[in-house]
Structure 1
Amino acid sequence: MKERLKAIWKLEDGFDLMDITNGYYLVNLDMGKDQDKAINGRVDKTLVWVWFMSLGVVFYEESVLLTLASAIGGPIKVDLHMLNMARGCFAQVCVEIDLNVPVVGHFYLNGEWYNVEYKGLHMLCASCD
């Protein structure tokens, strides 16, 4: 994740990343120039957990879920708990999305529509619900 953030934010120097629970991270940037970029710059892409709701367990395979996620953005990884069937009501995939493009709200698969939910996206984007 640290390397992805460095590439997305186009940082010139190092930084520390600390998990502070509930899906939040604290970023400590080493260089003042990078701090200005982060505070005043615009973030066009972000990583977000995408939930495919009510998807049948027959589709709970990593390659299938990554293919579905590619219709939303750049797939990063599948939640391993979900693959082990620990969570049966949704499939969860981490996806890099472009915040300048409207998010995908649903998709059509094998004759049925499935809803897509974005975990925590409303905290980053005022126009995303």
Structure 2
Amino acid sequence: MTKPSTLPTETFPPIPPKPPDKSQSDMEEDRTPLIPPLSSQPLSYKDVVLEKEENLEASYLHEMDRETHMKDQLESPADLDTITLTPEEKERLYQPWKYSVIVKVFGKRLSHQYLKGKLTDLWNIDEPLNLIDLGFDFYVARFKEEQSLQTVLYEGPWFVEGQFLSIKRWEPNFVPAESKIDTAAIWIRLPQLPTKFYDQRILEKVGRRIGQLVKADACPSATLRGRYVRICVEISLDVPVRTSIMIGSHKQQLLYEGEGIMCVGCGRIGHTIDNCTYITPKTTTTEA
């Protein structure tokens, strides 16, 4: 009698042991997010803008610190000992100057005391003016109040003895002998601008096309000032400026505030045709 054939026995992997009960701390570790917290991630452009609006002065000083650090890395001689400044030391050194501006009168040299008196009357701010002579006709006007800084920066242009006063914000590594002011913040009027363009974003586009936008005045009360709005733009003093710009199909005239601020010969800001250095004088020939 033959034995029935035996079927092959199917083998299975061993059943793993039951894992031990997790403690509360283990469960909390498992709930750790896979991405790092938001604060450790790079800020988006929107975040940077919001941060600047909330703390404008701190952001400005941080940007100056970054630019200064990059400049130090490029220009520091390798064979010299370098004193490294900590972030805390930079903050302490920069803080007293955060509401300061660097000024220079174009085309005229004025004594320190005379210029201080003129600027005190011109700006009419609510605090004593601290004016420091840096040499080479550069001065630092140092303020304690942010409102004084806003007045000086945004309510110009300013003129002293009929000469254009250039103003820019204080910067840490400014060296008068190696510097020149080649930009200025200028208010530009847009006369008879169609009311459909009384829009903050449109005005910002116009400002950025002309130069570096500083401020746009798009408040409704602008209609009460002779039908024009204003934009404050930082403009290069070395290139001719625009006198008009196209907004869609509309050709808009641009008027630069300040009498005698633009040279009619070369089209640049900051001087007049009488002291223009960009125009070659015409030579006359005498016939024998």
Give me the TM-score of the superposition, normalised by structure 2.
0.33
| Aligned-pair CA distance for 1:28 | 5.2
Higher helix share: 2
Determine the structure 1 residue equivalent to 2:92. Answer: none
Q: 1:75 offset after TM fit, Å? A: 0.9
Q: Which has the higher strand share?
A: 1
Contact 1:51 1:92 in 2 (8 A): yes
Residue 57 and residue 76 in structure 1: after superposition, are their counterparts in 2 closer, same or farther (change >3 A)? same
RMSD (Å), alpha carbons: 3.3
Q: 1:83: how far off?
A: 3.7
Aligned to 1:106: 244
2:184 counterpart of 1:38: no
Q: In structure 2, do the counterparts of structure 1 residues 67 and 83 end up closer, same or farther at CA, with 3 Å as the change threshold?
A: farther
2:233 is matched with 95
| More RCO (CA 8 Å, sep 6+) | 1
Indicate whether 1:116 and 2:238 are aligned. Answer: no
Kindly report which structure 2 residues correspond to 1:80-91, keeping only aligned pairs within 5 A, or say none: 82-84=219-221, 85-87=223-225, 89-91=227-229
Which one of the candidate residues 1, 21, 29 is aligned to 2:131? 29
Q: Give the unaligned 5+ runs of structure 1.
A: 10-15, 22-26
| 2:272 is aligned with 1:126 | yes
8 A contact 1:69–1:95 mirrored in 2: yes
Matched, 1:72 2:222: no
Deviation at 1:4, TM superposition (A): 7.8
For structure 2, which runs of at least 5 residues remain unmatched after alignment? 1-97, 105-115, 124-128, 140-175, 262-269, 277-288
TM-score by length of 1: 0.67
Secondary structure of the residue that 2:186 maps to in structure 1?
A: strand
- Point out the structure with max Rg over C-alpha: 2
Q: Secondary structure at the match of 1:95?
A: strand
Alignment partner of 2:242: what SS?
Answer: coil
